[in-house]
Chain A
Amino acid sequence: MLTLERIEIRQPSFRLDADFSVSTGLITALIGPSGAGKSSLLSIIGGFYTPASGRVLWNNSDISVLAPGARPCATLFQDNNLFPHLTVAANVGMALTTDMRLTPAQSEQVTAALSQVGLADMGRRKPATLSGGQQARAALARALLQDRPLVLLDEPFSALGPALKAEMLDLVRETLAAAGRTVLMVTHDPADALRIADEILFVADGTVTGPHPTRELLDDPPPALRTYLGAK
C-alpha cells in the first residue's frame, strides 16, 4: 500500500495538501485541472521533489528518505524517457543493469519484454528512428523489466493520438497491471481513467480527494469535479 501522509507543498503562489492511501495492485488515476499539482505529487513519490512536510510510505515503511533510484518506483515521464544515444535494447536493458554488460539471460529478458510490447526486432534501433508510439512502448518495456512494484505514469502518452493512446493504456493494463504492479497515472482526461483506472484521486483547489472507485465517482461527481468535467 502506498500512503502519502500529511504531505504539504508550499510555494509562493501554489499550495497543495495530500493525505491518502492507494491499494496495492490497482491502477489509480490522478485527475484534475492543469496546474493543480498532479505531476508534483508523482515527483514527490518518485523522489524528485521534496515537500515542505509529510512522509511517503510504501507498505508502512518510510521511503521519503531514499534517493529516487532507491525507491520502489519506476517512472514514465512526459518526455525524454529514452536516452537518444543508446539503442532501444540498451535503454530497456538499463532496467536490469546500468553497466551495459547484459548476461545472455538478461539479453533474453530484454528481447522478451520488447516482444511483449510489440517491439520484437526493434532492439538494435536508436530511439530517433522509432515513432512516438513505439518510443512509449520501449519505455513501457523497461518499466516492465524494472523490479519496482510501483509504476508512475506522468502523462507519457499525452503526445500520442487518441487511438494510439488508448492502445497504450490497454497495454499498461495487460502488462503492468497483470504483473501485479501498482500503477499511478496522471491524466486530465476522464476517458483515460474510465478506460483503465480502478480508482480516481481528484486533485483540485489545493487538496486531494479520494481515492474513489472510478465508475461510481464519474457517474455521480461531487460539485468540484462536476465543474471540472463540465456540464454533460
Chain B
Amino acid sequence: MARGSRPLIFPKWPSVAAAALVLFLVLGTLLAVLWRAEGSLSLAAADLAAIRFTISQAIVSAVLSVGLAIPVARALARRQFRGRALFVTLLGAPFILPVIVAIIGLLAVFGRGGLVNAVTDALGLPSLQIYGFQGVVLAHVFFNLPLATRFLLQGWLSIPSERFRLAESLNAPVFRVLEWPMLRAVVPGALLAVFLICLTSFAVALTLGGGPRATTVELAIYQAIRFDFDLGKAAVLSIVQLTLCAAAVLAATTLAIPEGFGAGLDRSTPRWDGQTRAARIRDGLVITLAALFLLVPLAMIVLRGLPGLTSLPPSVWEAAIRSIAVALCATALTLLLAFALATQQGRALTLIGNLPLATSSLVVGTGLFVIVYGFVSPTRIALGVTVLLNAVMSLPFVLRILLPEIERVETDFGRLADSLRLTGWRRLRWLYLPRLRRPVGFAAGLSAALSMGDLGVIALFATDRQETLPLAMYRLMGAYRMEAAASAALVLVALSLLLFWVFDRGGRVDADA
C-alpha cells in the first residue's frame, strides 16, 4: 500500500546536494580532464598495451578466482566441521584487508625470499617470479577467491534441503539437477563482480606490476601524473578507464550481482550425496588448501611484522594517526551522503549512488588535480581530497547496506511516524538512527576500514607530510626496508580491524530489538 511520499517527510535539498557532489566528483572531474586533454585524444602503443594488460589480467583473475571458488564453496556447503563458521567469517576479511598489507604477506610467501622459493631453491627447481602478470593475478585471486566463495556458497545454501532429499530419493545426479543450474545462475554475476574489482585495482599493479608488460590503465594514469607530469595523457587514460568500467557496470546491470556480505552463511544443508570416503577426503583437502592459501600470508604478516614493531620510525606512527583521522572523516562524510541520498526515493538517486562503482579514484583524483592546479598546491589539499574520495568510493557499499534497512523501518513505522508528524531531522534522529544502529555500525566499520587501507589517490599528491599509513608502507617497501614495512603492515591491519570492530560492535551493543 502506498505511503505518504518521502518529499513531504524530508526536505529535498540534502539529497540534491549529495547527488550534486557525487555527480561533480564522478562526471565533473571527467569534464575537467577532457578539457585539459585539449582534443589530443590519441593512444600510444604503451597505452594500448596497458589496456590489453588491464583486461587480460582481469579476465584471468576472474576465471581463476571463480573457478577455484567452486570446489571450495561446494565443500563448505556440504561439510560441517569445527571452525567452519570462523572460516566463513574469515572469507569476508579480504574485503576490509588493506591491499598493501596483503601484498606484504604474499611477498613473504611467494616473493623472492619467500617460503615457496625457499622450497624450490632447496629442490633445485626454478624460482617463482612474483612480479609481473602472474603476481598481479596471484594477488587478485588471493583477494577474490574468498569473495567468490561467499557468492557461490550463498548460491549453494539457497538450494532448499528438500530438493537434495528429493534428488536422493529419486537417485538423480545432484550435480546435474541441482548444482549445475544454480551455478549457471550465479557464476556469471560472480565473474563480472571479480572482473570489475580487478579492472580498477591500483595498489596491486603498483606494487607487483609495473614496466611495459604489467601496467594497468590505473597505474599508467598514476605514472603519467607522478613521473611525466603529462596531464593530457592522464586525461586520455582516465577516459579509457571510465569507458572500461562503465561498460562492465552496464553489463552488470543485465546480470544479478550477488551480495558479498550476506548473513546466514554459517549453516550447511543436510546432504545425502557426496558422503563417500573419497569425496570427504577431497573436500577436506580443498578446504585445507584454501585455508592455507589465505592464512599463511596473513600469518607471515604477523611473523615478519612483530619483531620490528618497537623500532618503527616515528613517521610511521604519525602516518597512522593521519590515516585514522582520514578514515573517521571519510566515514562521517559517507554516512552523511548515504542518509542524504536515502531520504528521497527514485531510480535517479539509486543510479547516482552506484555511480562511484563505475569510476576509479585515480580518475577522479586526476580531475581534481586538473581543477585545483593553478589555484592551490595539490599537496596542500591531498588529505582533504583523500577524505572526499574515500567517502564517495565507499558510498555504493554503504547504500547497499542501508537502503533495504531504511525500507524496512519505513514499512514498519512509516505510517505511525507520518501520523505523528515526525518529519525531517526528527524522523532521522528519533526513528532512523535508533532503528538502524546495527546496519549503520556495520556500514561505518566497513567504510572506515576501506578508507584506512586505501592506497590510491593519496599516492598522486602526497609528500612526506601528508603520508597516510598505506603510503608510508609503500614507500618503505620502495626503499627495500621490508622489515619496517612488515611492521607497518601489522599496525595497519590491526588498526583497520580495530576500526571495523569498534563501529560494528558499537552498533550492536544495547541495540533494541
B511 to chain A, nearest CB (A): 8
- Known A48-B3, A80-B413; judge A128-B8 contact (CB<8 A): no
- Known A48-B3, A80-B413; judge A68-B419 contact (CB<8 A): yes
B418 contacts A69, C-beta separation under 8 Å: yes
B418 to chain A, nearest CB (A): 4
Q: Does A43 make an interface contact (CB < 8 A)?
A: yes
- Known A48-B2, A67-B8, A69-B421; judge A128-B415 contact (CB<8 A): no
User: A48, A80, A84, A94: which contacts B420 (Cβ < 8 A)?
Assistant: A94
Residue ID in chain B nearest A90 by CB atoms = B430
User: B1, B8, B422: which contacts A43 (Cβ < 8 A)?
Assistant: B1
A77 contacts B512, C-beta separation under 8 Å: no
User: B3, B415, B423, B434: which contacts A77 (Cβ < 8 A)?
Assistant: B415
Digitize B1-35: 1 where CB-to-A-CB distance is under 8 Å, 0 elsewhere: 11110001000000000000000000000000000
A47 contacts B430, C-beta separation under 8 Å: no
B426 contacts A80, C-beta separation under 8 Å: no
Does more than half of chain B's interface fall in helix, strand or loop, or is it mixed?
helix
Q: Does A126 make an interface contact (CB < 8 A)?
A: yes
Q: Does B38 make an interface contact (CB < 8 A)?
A: no
How far apart sit A94 and B8, CA to CA, in the bound complex (Å)? 19
Q: Does B86 make an interface contact (CB < 8 A)?
A: no
Q: Which of A55-63, A95-103, A192-200 is the interface stretch?
A: A95-103
How far apart sit A10 and B413, CA to CA, in the bound complex (Å)? 26
User: B3, B416, B430: which contacts A100 (Cβ < 8 A)?
Assistant: B430
How far apart sit A84 and B510, CA to CA, in the bound complex (Å)? 12
Residue ID in chain A nearest B431 by CB atoms = A83
* Contacting residues, chain B, for A69 (C-beta < 8 A): 418-423
Q: Does A75 make an interface contact (CB < 8 A)?
A: yes
B416 contacts A128, C-beta separation under 8 Å: no
- Known A70-B421, A85-B435, A95-B420; judge A48-B4 contact (CB<8 A): yes
Size class of the contact patch on chain B: 20 to 34
User: B412, B415, B421, B431: which contacts A48 (Cβ < 8 A)?
Assistant: B415
A48 contacts B430, C-beta separation under 8 Å: no
A49 contacts B422, C-beta separation under 8 Å: no
Query: Which B residues between 395 and 427 are near A, CB-CB below 8 angstroms?
Result: 412-413, 415-416, 418-423, 426
User: B2, B415, B421, B512: which contacts A84 (Cβ < 8 A)?
Assistant: B512
Q: Does B513 make an interface contact (CB < 8 A)?
A: yes
Residue ID in chain A nearest B420 by CB atoms = A94
* Contacting residues, chain B, for A128 (C-beta < 8 A): 512-513
B430 contacts A74, C-beta separation under 8 Å: no
20 A–B pairs (Cβ distance < 8 Å), ordered by A: A40-B1, A43-B1, A46-B415, A48-B3, A50-B2, A67-B8, A68-B419, A69-B418, A69-B419, A69-B420, A69-B421, A75-B419, A80-B413, A80-B416, A83-B431, A98-B420, A98-B422, A98-B426, A99-B426, A128-B512
Residues of chain B at the chain A interface (Cβ within 8 Å): 1-4, 8, 412-413, 415-416, 418-423, 426, 430-431, 434-435, 512-513
